[in-house]
């Protein structure tokens, strides 16, 4: 868990900044937490642009053309760490979704490398963006036709990189939130606040 000490501001005239835990949190999110039990979930990833679901095919290709409930659209998602880092594989094929050095999405039998790990970033619109752990700033993304978009051309705010977790038949999935981020103090308070993140 994350323990954070809140220091009351007893000296109103003091201009010293509040303690910064952000570095510690980021470091913990980057490290694999081998002490905690790995969480495995099964769901579909709905693509905001294609209106279909991400699927991993037997030929190791990845696209967002899967219909709701399609066998290749069922994904097994393994939570990798203390934070929101995950590995995603096709339940049918067993191939992990990975990213190569050119930003192309590919399926791999073994998903241990950082190129097969994605960080979940929950956006204000309740969609999730998936940033690759090896190639920071590169996101899983698909075109309107469901084809993979080159990751080097992706940004977090782009619709092509937005996904929603769904169970078959369109039921939305509630998800536990595991990683914390420090939110800076505003004019109303001088204390650092903790914001819970998916």
**Segments making up each domain of the chain, as ranges:** 36-174
* pLDDT of res. 171: 55
Rounded CA gap, 167 and 43, in Å?
A: 5
150-155: average pLDDT: 94
Tell which CATH classification among 1.20.1440.230, 3.30.750.210, 3.40.50.460, 2.80.10.50 matches the domain 36-174. Answer: 2.80.10.50
Identify the residue with better confidence: 177 or 163.
163
Structure tokens, 120: 């979940």
Q: 35-44, 66-75, 107-116, 180-189: which range is least confident on average? A: 180-189
Confidence at 21, pLDDT banded by 50, 70, 90: low
65-81: average pLDDT: 92
Confidence at 17, pLDDT banded by 50, 70, 90: low
Rounded CA gap, 24 and 26, in Å?
A: 6
35-39: average pLDDT: 64
Q: What percent of the chain is modeled with pLDDT above 70? A: 65
- CB neighbours of residue 192 within 10 Å: 19
| Cβ–Cβ under 8 Å, residues 73 and 65 | no
Based on C-alpha coordinates, what's the Rg of the chain? 19
| Residue 45, C-beta contacts closer than 8 angstroms, at least 6 positions apart | 53, 54, 64, 75, 88, 163, 164, 165, 166
pLDDT at 160 over 60: yes
28-39: average pLDDT: 56
């Amino acid at each position: 868990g994350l323990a954070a000490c809140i220091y009351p501001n007893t000296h109103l005239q003091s201009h010293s900044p509040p303690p910064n835990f952000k570095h510690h949190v980021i470091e913990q999110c980057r490290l694999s937490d081998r002490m905690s039990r790995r969480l495995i979930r099964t769901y579909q990833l709905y693509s905001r642009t294609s209106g279909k679901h991400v699927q991993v095919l037997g030929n190791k290709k990845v696209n967002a053309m899967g219909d709701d409930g399609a066998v290749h659209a069922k994904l097994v998602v393994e939570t990798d760490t203390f934070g929101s880092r995950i590995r995603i594989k096709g339940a049918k094929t067993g191939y992990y979704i990975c990213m190569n050095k050119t930003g192309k999405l590919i399926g791999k039998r073994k998903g241990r490398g950082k190129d097969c790990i994605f960080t979940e970033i929950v956006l204000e619109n309740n969609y999730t963006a998936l940033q690759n752990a090896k190639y920071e700033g590169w996101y899983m993304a698909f075109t309107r036709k469901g084809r993979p978009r080159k990751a080097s051309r992706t940004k977090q705010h782009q619709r092509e990189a937005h996904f929603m977790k769904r169970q078959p038949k369109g039921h939305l999935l509630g998800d536990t939130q595991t990683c914390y981020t420090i939110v800076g103090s505003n004019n109303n308070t001088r204390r650092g606040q903790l914001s819970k993140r998916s």
